Amino acid sequence: MIKQAVAGLILVLFSTTNLAAQANDQDPWKRLPSVPATCYTDGDFTAKLGDLYVALGAEKQKQEEINTELDQKLQALGQGVIMQRMMEYMRKDPQKAMKMMQAQQAAATEIRGGIMTADEAMKEREAEFEQLSAAFKAEMDAMSKPYQLRRDQVVKTGTKSVMEGASWVFTSKAAETEYNDIVNKENADYETRCATYFGADGKVRKWLATYRETVIDPVAKSSEMNDEIKALQMVILESPGAGFRSTAPMTAVRDYINVLRKAYELPRHKVANVTNRGPGESH
């Protein structure tokens, strides 16, 4: 409510500011790649996250340079000019001035509370992830162990060593079929179990949504409120503000990318099928 009130003051009272319009130009959240559709390690997804992280970092740095320059121009007015223009504004429209000051005070309280709440939430979310991670690894390891033992048995009885023991090939089509049947069943079992963590309603996906809601978003909103107040000051004090834009959304997405990276390190590679390519060929 408070954030909307501050933004509303900027839009309604001071139509010359373009902070909100700029913020809507390109929502960095819309640039996030879709999460993998499968439950296996996805190098393409990881690469896309890395590219976006770097791109947003460069854009953020460039915008921060613009914001700093505009803020320096505001501060260069000097306290005397700032006080004079503020008084002129208050005399011109005391009602709007009062609303502005109330919004600033309320926003300051909201900012402090939001950051403190997010700090506590982050500790809770990190503890939850440690439990999720341990549970996922334990369940998948326990699921895989019997399949691994069966595959090892097939390798022991149905293959022969080649390349001086560096690899092996099947000695019969039956052994090859048995081995790959075990692989297929293991992958199917893994996919079913993994979906309870990484499916649309999975535990990890829900945890990611909660992390954003309770940690990422509150911090971003606090930073945006700070920037909106700064933009409002520039309008009131008639200081150049064109080009000023909050970097909070970019920071938020970069922070969320780090969380996504950690979560999607958990899925494993798909167990590969093995076939004899030809006489004497190994794998």
Domains of the chain, by residue range, sit at 2-33+40-263
What's residue 133's pLDDT? 98
239 pLDDT higher than 90: no
Tokens 């107040």 belong to which residue? 229
Long-range contacts of 229-234 (CB under 8 A, 24+ apart): 229/6, 229/104, 229/107, 230/71, 230/74, 231/10, 231/17, 231/19, 232/6, 232/9, 232/10, 232/14, 232/17, 232/100, 232/104, 233/74, 234/17, 234/70, 234/74
* Among 29, 48, 98, CA closest to 253: 29
What's residue 108's pLDDT? 66
What's residue 25's pLDDT? 59
Higher pLDDT, 41 or 8: 41
Higher pLDDT, 228 or 264: 264
Residue 26 CA, distance from chain mean position: 16
Cβ proximity of 225 and 3 under 8 Å = yes
Which parts of the chain fold into alpha helices (H)?
A: 2-13, 19-25, 43-75, 78-92, 94-158, 173-198, 203-211, 217-236, 248-263
What's residue 31's pLDDT? 97
What's residue 183's pLDDT? 98
* Among 21, 63, 84, CA closest to 247: 63
Higher pLDDT, 98 or 53: 53
CA distances from 189 to 66, 101, 132, 233, 272 (A): 53, 60, 19, 60, 14
CA distances from 18 to 89, 162, 195 (A): 20, 70, 44
13 pLDDT higher than 60: no
Higher pLDDT, 151 or 80: 151
C-alpha angle 147/148/154, rounded to 5°?
90
- Average pLDDT rounded to a whole number, residues 137-151: 97
Residues 6+ apart with CB under 8 A from 100: 9, 13, 232, 236
- Which tokens hold the place of 142? 């326990």
C-alpha count within 13 angstroms, C-beta hemisphere, residue 247: 16
List residues bridging with 162 in a β-sheet.
167
- Average pLDDT rounded to a whole number, residues 218-230: 85
pLDDT tens for 255-282 read 999 999 999 999 999 999 999 854 444 4
What's residue 112's pLDDT? 64
- Which tokens hold the place of 51? 């590219």
What's residue 24's pLDDT? 52
pLDDT > 70: percent of the chain: 82
171 pLDDT higher than 50: yes
Tokens 């341990």 belong to which residue? 134
pLDDT tens for 20-40 read 445 455 799 999 999 998 899
Cβ proximity of 219 and 112 under 8 Å = no
- In a 3-state reduction of DSSP, which class is residue 238? coil
pLDDT tens for 36-45 read 988 999 999 9
How far, in Å, CA of 44 to CA of 66, rounded? 33
Confidence band of 114 (pLDDT split at 50, 70, 90): low
pTM over 0.85: no
How far, in Å, CA of 183 to CA of 177, rounded? 10
How far, in Å, CA of 29 to CA of 213, rounded? 13
Confidence band of 50 (pLDDT split at 50, 70, 90): very high
